[in-house]
């Protein structure tokens, strides 16, 4: 089960070969009930294909918990360009890298370790959309890890699979090479939006750029020059967190 801690609580639950989403309206559960919400909810038929989202609230008259079920179609990634489609339920997680990224292998191909990035909830879709678009534009350039396919959940595209690159993060001694790679990246018509040490992987095969959640297609030379100008400071910084340019999306509700 995955959760998002907001005033209204959201949960993503896997049950056998399906995924269900549960919304608990603000004020419905309290304290420790939110730590183990499945034990506090009214009975739900998780194996029933007629619903995808359950909205849990309290009846204003009786005060008892009630559930409203809906099969509303959830938002997914539209930028579908790669031939390979992989069911998220067939990915075995090896190591969690962030809230939305993890090392994994395909249960039917356990010898290959990959990186998966997925949107757990709908408000994370725009970031995956931008990253998927960036990988389409970068295909065949050698500037980024290889794009191995789209990740879907019951047919809805929610993520992407990437080649795992073994290497180290860049430092100030790599400035000249990182400048060259970033310039080539800009020549593809993209602005990265989140330049920092962690987003340059240095390996025996060269330097690759990663993490395109904030990337946008742009020919704006001012933005590109700003990224180039900031690179030395980012590579020298002990703090590896990036400072992204603002882009218009639907992420403002995320916590």
Closest CA to 6 of 252, 242, 250, 246: 252
pLDDT at 248 over 80: no
**Which CATH number describes the domain made up of 168-236?**
1.10.510.10
| Per-residue pLDDT reduced to its tens digit, 113-150 | 999 999 999 999 999 999 999 999 999 999 999 999 99
pLDDT at residue number 1 = 55
| Per-residue pLDDT reduced to its tens digit, 156-210 | 999 999 999 999 999 999 999 999 999 999 999 999 999 999 999 999 999 999 9
Q: Are 13 and 20 in contact (CB under 8 A)?
A: yes
* pTM as predicted: 0.86
Identify which has the larger pLDDT, 74 or 240. 74
pLDDT at residue number 88 = 97
Q: Are 161 and 86 in contact (CB under 8 A)?
A: yes
Residues pairing with 85 in the sheet: 150
Residue 35: count of CB within 10 angstroms of its CB: 10
- Residue spans of the domains in the chain: they are 9-70, 85-163, 168-236
pLDDT at residue number 34 = 72
Give Dmax (Cα) for the chain.
Answer: 68
Are the folds of 85-163 and 168-236 the same? no
Contacts of 209 (CB under 8 A, 6+ apart): 143, 144, 181, 182, 185, 192, 199, 200, 201
Q: Are 102 and 116 in contact (CB under 8 A)?
A: yes
| Per-residue pLDDT reduced to its tens digit, 30-88 | 777 777 777 888 899 999 999 999 999 999 999 899 999 999 999 999 999 999 999 99
pLDDT at residue number 85 = 98
CATH class of 85-163: alpha beta
- Element spanning 236, H or E: helix 221-236
* Model confidence band, residue 244 (pLDDT cutoffs 50, 70, 90): very low
Average pLDDT score, the chain: 90
* Model confidence band, residue 2 (pLDDT cutoffs 50, 70, 90): low
């Amino acid at each position: 089960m995955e959760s998002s801690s907001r005033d209204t609580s959201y949960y993503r639950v896997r049950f056998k070969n399906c995924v269900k989403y549960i919304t608990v309206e603000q004020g419905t559960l309290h304290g420790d009930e939110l730590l183990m919400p499945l034990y506090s909810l009214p009975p739900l038929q998780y194996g029933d294909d007629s619903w995808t989202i359950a909205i849990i609230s309290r009846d204003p008259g009786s005060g008892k918990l009630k559930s409203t079920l809906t099969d509303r179609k959830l938002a997914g990634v539209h930028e579908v360009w790669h031939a390979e489609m992989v069911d998220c339920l067939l990915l075995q997680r090896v190591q969690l890298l962030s809230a939305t990224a993890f090392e994994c292998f395909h249960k039917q191909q356990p010898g290959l370790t990959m990186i998966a990035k997925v949107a757990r909830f709908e408000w994370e879709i725009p970031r995956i959309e931008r990253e998927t678009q960036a990988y389409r534009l970068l295909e065949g350039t050698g500037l980024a890890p290889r794009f191995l396919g789209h990740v879907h959940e019951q047919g809805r595209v929610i993520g992407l699979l990437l080649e795992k690159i073994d290497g180290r993060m860049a430092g100030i001694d790599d400035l000249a090479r990182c400048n060259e790679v970033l310039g080539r990246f800009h020549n593809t018509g993209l602005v990265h939006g989140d330049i920092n040490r962690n987003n340059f992987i240095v390996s025996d095969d060269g330097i690759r750029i990663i993490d395109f959640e904030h990337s946008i297609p742009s020919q704006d030379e001012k933005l590109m020059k700003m990224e180039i100008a900031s690179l030395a400071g980012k590579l020298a910084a002990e703090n590896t967190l990036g400072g992204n340019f603002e882009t218009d999306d639907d992420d403002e509700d995320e916590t």
